[in-house]
Amino acid sequence: MKDKTLDFIARMPKVELHLHLEGTIQPTTAIELMRSNQVENAPRTVEELLKIYDFQDLSHFVRAMKIVSNHITRLQDLDRVCSEMLAECARQNIRYLEFDCAVQKYIDLGMPLTDVVAVLDRAVHAAEKRYGILSRMVVNLQRSHGDQKTADLVVAVARLNHPLIVGVGLSGDETQNPQKEFINTFAIAKEAGLHRTVHAGEALGSQSVWDALELLHAQRIDHGTRAVEDERLVRHLVDTQIPLTQCLTSNLRLNIVSAAELHPFAFFLHSGVLVTLNTDDPQIFQTSLTQEYALAYQTFGFSEQELRRIAQNGINASFLPEATKGQLRQQMEQNISADCGEN
């Protein structure tokens, strides 16, 4: 018998807030980019490409991801990857997307920040016109670049003041470059009025989440899975409604949790933490947002009402203006009523 809830999930309008553009490169695109750059022993098939993604932990994962993403070397490559990402999101009925882009990578290759943002902005507007998907960008700040380089990027982003950019986000191996090293960078971001999100509570424990909140003034936590280890922190997250952008498959693949049923997502949701479902790096982890919702439903037994609540949490946790959030809520509810039916 067909599972009606899985059908509901496929048709339900969704929001994605934790998606790295460099982790969305389609397999055929990745192979073509590596070939065009004349990579020695480049993968010739999808199966060979997937062997690169056979990682064991966060540090190994970061290295594996760079093997492929380092071959986005031209503006047209960036346009292709972004356009394909948006088309895939639209296919899954994602109505709003905040994607993270490692713009410093492209600046270091000689592409001006203005050109990088312009290319992405054109792709975003084209997708909105074609598919009706609304998208904004969070500028990625790599821990490995250190405080000075990330601070310089934040200053440049603030000066650009482009409407596509809604904030900055710190990511990378937190075991090597902890939050305290980026106090200056995030002070500049806060002063400039940029929204701020930080990867924390993933490889490191709950203290990394506290540090993101107290030292970096994070308004959102990417992952935050290990916040469950600290009751006081969980209460703080409930009281402040600081969101956690959770990624189930990512946490499983990187051994943050050993089994889906041991993931604290349902505990967070039922405790009143503002949690959202996301994919992180869908091509690398071989998942999609639809699959993440299906995994959550099959693991935790969520009702359709709870699944709708998770999607609505995505709007609440976004960096959109309140007026736009209200419009998006209304549109999504209308879509659910029209396309999914009321239960």
Instruction: Reply yes or no on whether the pLDDT at 32 is more than 60.
Output: yes
Neighbours of 129 (CB within 10 A): 9
Query: Nearest CA to 241 among 322, 166, 316?
Result: 316
75 versus 342: which is more confidently predicted?
75
Enzyme catalytic residues: 202
DSSP SS3 for 246: strand
Average pLDDT, the chain: 93
Least confident range from 32-41, 106-115, 240-249, 307-316: namely: 32-41
Q: Among residues of the chain, what percentage have pLDDT more than 70?
A: 95
* Full DSSP string of 271-306: HT--EEE--BSHHHHT--HHHHHHHHHHHH---HHH
pTM of the model: 0.93
Mapping DSSP to helix (H, G, I), strand (E, B) and coil, where does residue 224 land?
coil
- Classified as helix, coil or strand, 16 is strand
Q: Is the pLDDT score of 324 beyond 70?
A: yes
Q: What pLDDT is stored for residue 339 in this prediction?
A: 66
pLDDT one-digit tens code per residue, 249-275: 999 999 999 999 999 999 999 999 999
Mean pLDDT of 163-184: 94
**Which CATH architecture group holds 4-332?**
Alpha-Beta Barrel (3.20)
E-assigned strands of the chain?
14-20, 94-101, 134-142, 165-171, 195-200, 220-223, 244-246, 275-277
pLDDT of residue 50: 72
